A and B are shown apart, each in its own frame.
Chain A
């Protein structure tokens, strides 16, 4: 059985044979471009730096429609361009950017399965040369808020049987043993634990350990359905800052074809810091 939307994935082999051109742009999305893109990237790839490019510089929020249009224009992307995303950290941030592209209505969009991890495992080439991109005039769609869950939506869903919450963090974060690993001192919360009623289905259970590629449809179904995360439900995914949950959002929406999946990008750094929010351990 194939994925519900196989057209959203390309593999590393395909990528190596189909380099970017005028109508196809390759974008590396990094959390840490200093240790990623700047050290080497796939030939022809431009960079989207998650923190700088996809987040509002002042308010905690994703970029606005106008900011998104400017980003696309700078990256030589038009509304019709085929865009392929890949990145560091198991494609977490590439998945977040995929989610933002979909919020602003970009149609022709794909992820390179396995990201930097697989490309490097296969000893494929990198370059440090940055592509010369021709500025465009990108017109985005109004934001599709149906893809995003806000604090209000999550609070409202607490007692609803038809909404299921998927906490994709590690079991140690889910139980409240830690709020963030020591590597990420800026991502702690005042309380540890999880949103009441949430299922813990870590993001990593959707990928193959060896190369970070997505598991098969049957394996993915087996991963979610026995825990009540079924296609007939309204699904909300969350993690700590919304990037791992966008990875699981991608899996549920595009690989399994669930119709109603939202990413709660406020995630634990919002929920676990708000006064009065219920917490389960």
Chain B
């Protein structure tokens, strides 16, 4: 699974994502104050541990998060 909003971000390490408990490529994004935050870019779900529906749930959750963020700054009048 890949977070396409992180496209182009340099992969700095591959380690376990504490939230989803799977191996993930991670990069660093610096906030307004310059502080770097590790962010997962791509997750590797092992086929013998996860089925596609479970991964889809995670993907939909991520999509929902970005929709909510978009609504916060650019609310859709419809």
Contacts and interface: CB of A to CB of B under 8 A. Distances in A.
Interface residues of B, number: 15
Interface centre among A31, A32, A181 (most CB of B within 10 A): A32
B34 A50 contact: yes
Interface string A148-186: 000000000000000000000000000000000111111
A183 B10 contact: yes
B47 to A, nearest CB: 29
Interface stretch (B13-21, B23-31, B48-56): B23-31
Contacts, number: 40
Contacts of B8: 181-182
A34 interface: yes
A62 to B, nearest CB: 15
Interface in A42-80: 49-52
B33 to A, nearest CB: 5
A-side interface mostly: loop
A100 to B, nearest CB: 16
Given A183-B27, A183-B28, A51 B6 contact: no
Contacts of B35: 32-35
Contacts of B7: 182
A49 B29 CA distance: 18
Contacts of B34: 30-32, 49-51
A184 B8 CA distance: 12
Contacts of A51: 32-34
B33 A52 contact: yes
Contacts of B29: 182-185
11 contacts: A32-B30, A32-B35, A34-B36, A35-B36, A51-B33, A51-B34, A183-B9, A183-B27, A183-B29, A186-B31, A186-B32
